[in-house]
Structure 1
Amino acid sequence: MSKTSGKFQIAARIAGIALVLAATSACSKIDKFHGYAPAPEELTEITPGLTTRAEVVARFGPPMSEGTLANNAVYYASSQFVHFGAFAPKEVDRQVVAFRFDENNITQDVARYTLQDGQVVSLDRRVTDDGIQDITFIGQLLGSLGRIDAGTFLGDS
């Protein structure tokens, strides 16, 4: 065995070990938490029919979203995502706590929704039309052909 082939084998082993270490560290689990929802123990402090909206906001902080006047509710939401390496994050837990109030801002109902409930809660929907039409580049070129003024094009003043 020559010296160069021996050095090559050592370098190949080191590179292989480094590759295995890099691959295993890239596949480690990463947990990400977003938002805040009160724990069930904290909700025992809220008494429907007695607790006001101001007391709920003072106790739990500003809500994630507030319902419209017809809905008259506040929402607190939290999510947990698990991320493995190059794969897309997967939501493994979601908690939405909804406080509904009457016309006097007194708590009527406290509801907790989880990911397993599968219930859609529309927290906030704000859609603004961008005004951009779906026209291709060629369509824009052909559309501008009819707007060319011959006098301007030829240089007539």
Structure 2
Amino acid sequence: MTAIRNRVISALALCCLMVVTGCAATYRNHGYVPPEEDLQNLVVGVDSRATVDDVIGPPSLSGVLADGNYYYVRSRVREYGMFRPQVVERRVLAISFNDNDTIANIEEFGLEDGQVVPLARRVTDSSVVSNGFLRQLLSNIGNINPVEGFGN
């Protein structure tokens, strides 16, 4: 009898342990922002784009144009159980350049500096996507005007 009781208690303890560990938060890190020590080696107005590439490396994101600014982005995302993932930390380092490819400004931003900007695709939705083939076919039956079919 005590052996069965010990097994039941062990099974309950194991289930409780699995529930507790399943609800633990996990963190994912994305991107790269160079450390402050490396940024101290860059001089605004003196160093060029090539120097930035050598000292801290090329960015994962750059401006829209070929000679655009550099953007280094690092995010930390917390996933907790069944809840939606939440960005708990974001650092953006922006290095802008002058016309002669020297550093114009170095700025750093975080979540506390503004609102999170959701990225959205700029694609026009068509009404065809929401309706299936049969629904489109059957919905056109009432739209036919026999007079238009025979001309004037």
Q: TM-score range by the shorter chain?
A: 0.7 to 0.9
1:134 maps to which of 115, 129, 137: 129
The one-letter code of the counterpart of 1:14 is S
Task: Give 5+ residue unaligned stretches, structure 1.
Answer: 147-157
Deviation at 1:130, TM superposition (A): 8.3
2:42 maps to which of 46, 71, 87: 46
1:114 pairs with 2:114:
no
Structure 1's 67 and 93: CA in aligned 2 closer, same or farther, altered over 3 A? same
Taking only the aligned residue pairs, the percentage that are identical comes to 30
C-alpha distance in structure 1 between counterparts of 2:128 and 2:67, whole Å: 35
C-alpha distance in structure 2 between counterparts of 1:64 and 1:119, whole Å: 22
Question: Given that residues 79 and 91 in structure 1 are in contact (C-alpha distance below 8 angstroms), is that contact kept between their aligned partners in structure 2?
Answer: yes
State the TM-score, normalized to the length of structure 1.
Answer: 0.72
1:15 pairs with 2:11:
yes
Question: Given that residues 113 and 119 in structure 1 are in contact (C-alpha distance below 8 angstroms), is that contact kept between their aligned partners in structure 2?
Answer: no
The one-letter code of the counterpart of 1:47 is V
Please give the secondary structure, in 1, of the residue aligned with 2:113. coil
The one-letter code of the counterpart of 1:87 is F
Question: Given that residues 38 and 56 in structure 2 are in contact (C-alpha distance below 8 angstroms), is that contact kept between their aligned partners in structure 1?
Answer: no
Q: Aligned-pair RMSD on alpha carbons?
A: 3.1
Deviations 1:126-145 (A, max 9, x none): 75668783232243332687
> 2:80 maps to what in 1?
84
Structure 1's 19 and 59: CA in aligned 2 closer, same or farther, altered over 3 A? same
> 1:55 maps to what in 2?
51
The one-letter code of the counterpart of 1:48 is V
State the TM-score, normalized to the length of structure 2.
Answer: 0.74
Structure 1's 125 and 87: CA in aligned 2 closer, same or farther, altered over 3 A? closer
Please give the secondary structure, in 2, of the residue aligned with 1:68. coil
C-alpha distance in structure 1 between counterparts of 2:140 and 2:7, whole Å: 63
Equivalenced residues, count: 141
> 2:148 maps to what in 1?
none
> 1:65 maps to what in 2?
61
> 1:101 maps to what in 2?
97
C-alpha distance in structure 1 between counterparts of 2:47 and 2:31, whole Å: 23
Deviation at 1:40, TM superposition (A): 2.6
C-alpha distance in structure 2 between counterparts of 1:65 and 1:106, whole Å: 18
Deviations 1:72-120 (A, max 9, x none): 3110000112222333322111100001001111110001001110156
